[in-house]
Amino acid sequence: MLLLACIGAVFLASSQASASPFSTAGIKFVAYKTGDTSTNLSTLVGPQGISGLTGDTGATGATGETGATGATGATGGIGLTGPTGAAGTNGTNGSQGVIGLTGATGPTGATGSQGVIGPQGPIGNTGPSGPTGAAGQPGPQGQTGQTGPAGPTGQAGQTGTAGTNGAQGATGQPGPQGQTGQTGPAGPTGQAGQTGTAGPIGATGATGPQGDIGLTGATGPTGATGPSGTAAAPVAFLATIAAGMTPNPSEIGSYVLNGKEVSFWIQVSLSSVTNFGSQSYINLYLPSGFPAASNYFFTTAYLLHGGQQYQLDGIATSGGTAISMWWKGSQLYVQNFTYNSPVVLVKADFISISGTYLTP
């Protein structure tokens, strides 16, 4: 009973062969084998168990009355450390005993055999750090490892300070003289002087020359378009060409007169010709009574021969009605249109010309 008072509480286990110490709420519990008198409960300490999980904090109990201080018991002899027994079930907390005086620390007992690992206990308070062990002997030099990949390029360094200025160069030769600058703007006009007294009226001078004609005024708006005139009806006419043929064929034509403007169309069939002769020119004629007011060059003319069209030109001279016919040769200049140029004429050929000109 004296040992139970010093320790605080004892739990018996009749079939267990090992003991396991743990602490909770400041009370130390020890389980030991029944009848083992060699165990000194004051120094029986097993190896520290694995730190358990932190349990929920219980409700704070009511503060008990402080008991009287008991007498300090005699320190028993240090017994051998027995094997660690299995952890016993938790007993009910005993009442707070009287705190005795701290006895002298006994020598450390021999370490018992490792017991069976008990269930996870609650997490205990962190113990003090143990002393640092002696440094071990350095191991042998390891082999040189392979070269690692190149690291990323470092940031560019800061720009260095500017160097000192070089020595002053030699003075160059004077440049050529620049061009004379433009004349500056005229200065402001001075204030007008005071008006003098009027002089006597002089004699009337001679009339000066006529002044320049003023600018033409802006064009007025365009008047309304008048009613369309009646289109002139075409008028048919006949004329005999001059070609040295037997007989000279007649031209069949028509014209439209619009004021002094004459538009005409002429066609000549050679079907009546029996002898084309040897004359070196062929002339057609404008409508009688409407000569050309100036020289005209008509390009809308052609010869239809054997299914082919040959380009012809007609020239009318000022004041006349004759149209001399021409064609463009291989040298690209005009040549006389004749009975055999540009081709030998036959009875199936046709000559056609049209155009517009002014009459006096």
Structural domains of the chain, ranges and CATH numbers in brackets:
1-49+76-99 (no CATH), 235-358 (2.60.40)
pLDDT at 214: 79
Write down the pLDDT at residue 201: 82
Residues in the chain with pLDDT values less than 50: 1-34, 36-45
Residues 129-134: contacts with CB within 8 Å, 24+ apart?
none
Could you tell me the pTM of the whole model? 0.39
How many whole angstroms from its chain centre is CA 123? 65
Q: How far is CA 87 from the centre of its chain?
A: 78
The number of beta carbons lying within 10 Å of the beta carbon of residue 136 is 6
Spatial distance between the Cα atoms of 126 and 119, rounded to a whole number of angstroms: 19
What amino acid occupies position 220?
G
* Burial class of 202 by CB neighbour count within 10 A (0 to 12, 13 to 18, 19+): exposed
Q: What is the pLDDT of residues 133-145, one digit of tens each?
A: 676 676 677 676 6
Predicted local distance difference test score (pLDDT) of residue 178: 66
Which sign does the torsion angle of CA 11, 16, 21, 22 carry?
negative
pLDDT score at 15: 39
Separation in Å, CA 75 to CA 66, 79, 213: 25, 12, 152
Burial class from Cβ neighbours inside 10 Å (0-12, 13-18, 19+) for residue 32 reads: buried
